[in-house]
Amino acid sequence: YNFNVGLEFSILKGLISGEVEYFQRSTKDLLFNLPVSSATGFTSEPWNIGDMVNRGFEVALNSRLINREDFSWSVSANATHFVNEITSLPEQFKAAGITNGSQIMKEGGSIYDFYLVKYMGVDQTNGSTIYQVKNSEGVFEDKSITGTIDATANRQYAGSSLPKLSGGFSTTATYKNFDLSVAFSYQIGGKVLDNQYANLMNIGNSSANGWSPEILNAWTPENTNTNVPRLEYLNQNLTPSFSDRFLTDASFLSLRNINVGYTFDNNMLSKIGIVKGVRVFASGDNLWLTSKRKGLDPRT
């Protein structure tokens, strides 16, 4: 069920134009593959079990800054913000929600919410990991872990993969027969589980292909002031996959495209009499990206 309302405008004789839109999309009876007993011969079966709503706004602005016969220059930008909410789940899932890997879908929450054990650093005395775990009274407190941790009991909300804002901006300029266009895309906020980096920060696994240079900062008796636990072959308690240690800010800025071209004069082409128009150009895609960690592309 879709609802959209928007406003399109143009002011100062078209110098500035754009649109603002609010949208809401409600979805009923969503399909989800629920786990079933292996005795059935299947691992899951699809059920129509949930309702969800997406709501937000989009803004697009265009400005024709210069518009002369031999030179023109325009810029444009757009931004989108939206939230996702699960509005209904069956009674048996209202309390605990539905676990899907590192995410838990709860009524009133979002399908993009991460629920992980919070990583609090390294015990300087022995290099073990410190997590927030529940005490006997059910209250979270920081605790150095040397053995197996109960991931299910100690998960808590750790963030969302939804960005606060996403979009792009671009500029186009022409001078006589030359033209240039540059386009960027961006995202502000949101989280990404950086599994590639996690694999490169393993504590010594037989199947590991290599390490990140940051592993050189691992805890040792001589290097106690660090956020990287000690290396200990196959001790998965030191780097469990269910913690938020590798949950990373997904903000980025990307140079998506540059295009430079030259259009041949029609008067010159008319003398040839073969073609009506010719433009030669050079174009580059995905030329540059900056993000929280070198090598991390949150778009993937």
Q: What is the pLDDT of residues 160-216, one digit of tens each?
A: 999 999 999 999 999 999 999 999 999 999 999 998 898 888 887 666 678 899 999
How far apart are the C-alpha atoms of 210 and 193, rounded to whole Å? Answer: 19
Q: How far is 292 from 276, CA to CA, in rounded Å? A: 49
| pLDDT single digits (tens) 92-136 | 888 889 888 899 999 999 999 999 999 999 999 999 999 999 998
What global pTM score does this model have? 0.85
Phi, psi of 259 (to 5 degrees): -135, 125
The pLDDT tens digits for 61-98 are 999 999 998 999 999 999 999 999 999 998 888 888 98
Residue with tokens 């005395």: 125
